[in-house]
Amino acid sequence: MSRFITQRLIVFAPTLFGVAVIVFVVMRLIPGDTITAQIGTQTLLTDAQAASLRAYYGLDKPVLEQFTSWFGAALRGDLGLSVRSGKPVLGEILSRFPLTLELGLLALLIGLVLGLTLGMFTATRRGTLADAAGQFLALIGLALPNFWLGTLIILVLSTVFHILPNSGDYTPFSQDPLRNLGQLIFPAFTLGLGLTASIARTTRSAVLEELRQDYARTARSKGLSERWVTLKHCFRNALLPVITLVGIQAGYLLGGAIVVEEVFALPGLGRLLLNAIGQRDYAVTQGVILFIALNFLLINLLADLAYALVNPRVRNA
């Protein structure tokens, strides 16, 4: 198992370095820079003032030197200062991350509970009307974009029930758990619907595949009921592809949260990133994306470990 973990950890460094290079280059390909975003237009500044500001922010240095300086500091845990707030970027990220993490965990919980239930339900009723209806619902879940579903939920709640999921007065979980969950349940459902559909389809296919295996036929020949064969013998083996899917999709939940947080006006990492991009706040944009990439890698590592625990052949390979 230690060798298995070491192999997975080896890919961390080159992956994070690649992400850092890409985001650094892409940010500088966007028209304008920190100064134009902060001042509004360079015509308000003299050439000497503009040069002075660029020197202050380090924008007068060669691009390679800028990247080396920033990435070297990032490896030490220093992601720089936000141009807009003047606060350390790492502090800004850590203050917003609990909301995004809670939103992702709620979406993951919704996806697992609904997806596994729907997948098992349709697998045990293959070829029936219930199976067709379940697959149709899963297809709808895959097809609906997060921003459209979130907007629709807000529209229905505001026009029919005269309430808003979040009206800009977000309450942390530590202050009022019930109010916090009430504000996050609809965003979490919006974010988790696509995951629900993916898990349901994968679970159905995996269970049906396991039911055709020799060990399942042997269990039936011993007089065991179909339900017992499915739940006791087939379900655990069917979880292997589901674990892989969840590991991949859980990382993408952080990316999907960017859109959902903007739609529902939640002050998480997503809104922080979008505002930073619009304001050309290089340090915040680069820091948030690097932080999301690190979490994506950690989530996939946990998924690999879970897969290895369920299937010993993987860690012994």
Question: Crossing angle of helices 2-10/282-310, nearest 10°?
Answer: 150
DSSP state of 234: I
Provide mean pLDDT across the span 166-186.
Answer: 82
Q: How much is the pTM?
A: 0.81
pLDDT of residue 6: 76
For residue 119, being part of any structural domain is answered with yes
Residue 95 lies in a domain: yes
Answer yes or no: are the C-beta atoms of 111 and 192 closer than 8 Å. yes
**pLDDT confidence bin for 176, thresholds 50/70/90:** confident
Which of 63-77, 97-111, 125-139, 230-244 holds the top average pLDDT? 97-111
> What CATH number did the domain enclosing 224 receive?
1.10.3720.10
Q: Does 75 fall in a domain?
A: no
Contact 282, 34 (CB under 8 A): yes
Q: Tell me the pLDDT tens digit for each residue of 19-56.
A: 889 988 888 777 766 666 666 554 566 777 777 777 77
Helices within 30-62 (DSSP H only): 34-39, 47-57
Instruction: Confirm whether 30 is domain-assigned.
Output: no
Residues 219-251 pLDDT 10s = 888 877 777 777 777 887 788 888 878 877 877
The whole domain housing 96 covers 90-315
Whether 31 is covered by a domain: the verdict is: no
Q: Answer whether residue 69 is part of any domain.
A: no
| Partners of residue 81 on adjacent β-strands | 88
Q: Does pLDDT of 314 surpass 60? A: no
Mean pLDDT (whole number) for 208-225: 81
What is the number of residues in the chain? 317
Only one residue has tokens 């007089």, namely 223
Q: How far apart are CA 201 and CA 133, in angstroms?
A: 12
| pLDDT of amino acid 43 | 53
Give the pLDDT score at 113: 92
User: Is 317 a residue whose pLDDT tops 60?
Assistant: no
Question: What letter represents residue 314's amino acid?
Answer: V
* Selection from 268, 297, 295, 255 nearest residue 93 by Cα: 268
Could you tell me if residue 64 is inside a domain? no
Read off the amino acid at residue 172.
P
Once rounded to an integer, what is the mean pLDDT over residues 173-185?
A: 87
Least confident of 3-12, 74-83, 245-254: 3-12
Closest CA to 92 of 276, 277, 261, 262: 276
**Is residue 63 domain-resident?**
no
Q: What pLDDT score was predicted for residue 189?
A: 92
Q: What is the mean pLDDT of residues 200-211?
A: 87
Task: Tell me what pLDDT residue 42 has.
Answer: 47
Buried b (16+ CB within 10 A) or exposed e, 248-264: ebbbebbebbbbbbbbb
Lowest mean pLDDT among 35-44, 178-187, 264-273: 35-44
pLDDT score, position 227 = 75
How would residue 254 be classed by pLDDT, with cut points 50, 70 and 90?
confident
pLDDT at 110 over 90: yes
In the three-class reduction of DSSP (H, G, I as helix; E, B as strand; rest coil), residue 179 is classed as: helix
Q: How many domains does the chain have?
A: 1
Is 110:189 a contact under the CB 8 Å cutoff? yes
